[in-house]
Amino acid sequence: MYKDSTILVTGGTGSWGEELIRQLLTFHPKKIIVYSRNENSQVELRRKMANDNLFFFIGDIRDKAALLAATEGVDYLFHLAALKHVPICEENPVESIKTNILGTQNVIDAAVENHIKKVIYVSTDKAADPANTYGMTKALGEKLIIHANSKLSDTKFSCVRGGNVLGSSGSVLPLFQKQIAELGEVHITDKRMIRYFVSPREAIVRLLKAARISQGGETFVMNMDAFRIIDLAEVLIEHSGKSDVKIIEIGIRPGEKLKEVLIAENEKDLASSLDEDLLLISANQKGASTIDPQIEKIENSLLTKDEIKNMLKKEKFI
């Protein structure tokens, strides 16, 4: 699919983008265009991944003219660029709308105008039953992407809903490790907090699988593991070997849920389990008479501390 093709990745210098580019290069594409607005991040990625097939384009998805220029001759587009941090989006809702909604429409328009074959929009579990600005803007982004398939064009648009990526910038894993090492304490918003996590490698494997089988109009959901954040903290404290590390509850932040969901209640009768990696929400199929039991099993399962420890060891985080 990707051999000798031209691929553009918006937000390509982020945690997801870096791993995506690393895996895409193994398919020997003709060109990968890294589209982002952060000059320093592009310089760092150039140094980290020196490759003749890697090209860099400074641009913002809010700038439609820049997107139109960057997408000329592109075969496949992965749309990762977004404002992603929940507190930042809560404090800056207008900026979130400009990037996550209007920017996504610019991506759609550029893709259609330049006859891109497939656009894969990377979404988040926070778009399911959204409770914060970030989730709401990403949910509307999903709506725009799915609706784009009704345009009179050959471009196919699909969504892939992910979750928290272990070890990514701003995630709790490096934050907790830093707090343990430097403060001798871990700050948790609420001890009841539960989140879905996936490793960077597994997230991109699933993203590429969804991109390969997509026909347009689907919302794929990564099958991810959930665990209590306090269990993660206790595993990291135990691994540190320190006996006097305190866990401090600092209070839930505006817009946060105690537990995210992968699929909204109103989506469940349209959802099915494809395989061990992906769930599928189809906008075209009729609602099922019963909810897929695999989906209920995923939503009601939590990793134990031993399973969390094994996951961290497998991905070389500890």
pLDDT digits 0-9 by tens, 169-192 = 778 999 999 999 999 999 999 999
pLDDT in tens, 123-156: 999 999 999 999 999 999 999 999 999 988 999 9
Per-residue confidence band for 298, with pLDDT thresholds at 50, 70 and 90: confident
Tokens of 66: 């820049």
pLDDT score recorded for residue 88: 93
Assess whether pLDDT exceeds 70 at residue 6.
yes
pLDDT score recorded for residue 283: 73
Query: Mean of the pLDDT values across residues 72-77?
Result: 98
pLDDT score recorded for residue 152: 82
Known catalytic residue at 31: no
Query: Mean of the pLDDT values across residues 25-47?
Result: 94
Among 78-82, 126-130, 206-210, 291-295, where is mean pLDDT lowest? 291-295
- What does the mean pLDDT of the chain come to? 92
The model's pTM is 0.91
**In the chain, where are the structural domains located?**
6-163+198-222
pLDDT score recorded for residue 288: 52
| Widest pairwise Cα distance in the chain | 63
Assess whether pLDDT exceeds 80 at residue 55.
yes
pLDDT in tens, 79-113: 999 999 999 999 999 999 999 999 999 999 999 99
Among 46-60, 94-108, 150-164, 292-306, where is mean pLDDT lowest? 292-306
pLDDT score recorded for residue 163: 86
Query: Mean of the pLDDT values across residues 231-240?
Result: 95
Beta strand spans in 31-170 (E): 31-36, 54-58, 76-79, 118-124, 156-162, 164-165
Name all contacts of 125-129 with Cβ < 8 Å and 24+ positions apart: 125/161, 125/162, 125/163, 125/196, 125/221, 125/224, 125/260, 125/261, 125/262, 126/86, 126/260, 127/161, 128/161, 128/260, 128/261, 128/262, 128/263, 128/264, 128/267, 129/261, 129/264, 129/265
What amino acid is encoded at 173 in this protein? L
pLDDT score recorded for residue 269: 85
pLDDT score recorded for residue 73: 97
Cα angle for residues 280, 285, 289 (degrees, 5° grid): 90
Tokens of 282: 């189809």
pLDDT score recorded for residue 145: 98
Whether the Cβ atoms of residue 210 and residue 267 lie closer than 8 Å to each other: no
| Percent of the chain whose pLDDT exceeds 90 | 75
Per-residue confidence band for 284, with pLDDT thresholds at 50, 70 and 90: low
From the candidates 118, 126, 156, 268, give the one annotated as an active-site residue. Answer: 126
Select from 1.10.287.470, 3.40.50.300, 3.40.50.2300, 3.40.50.720 the CATH code of 6-163+198-222. 3.40.50.720
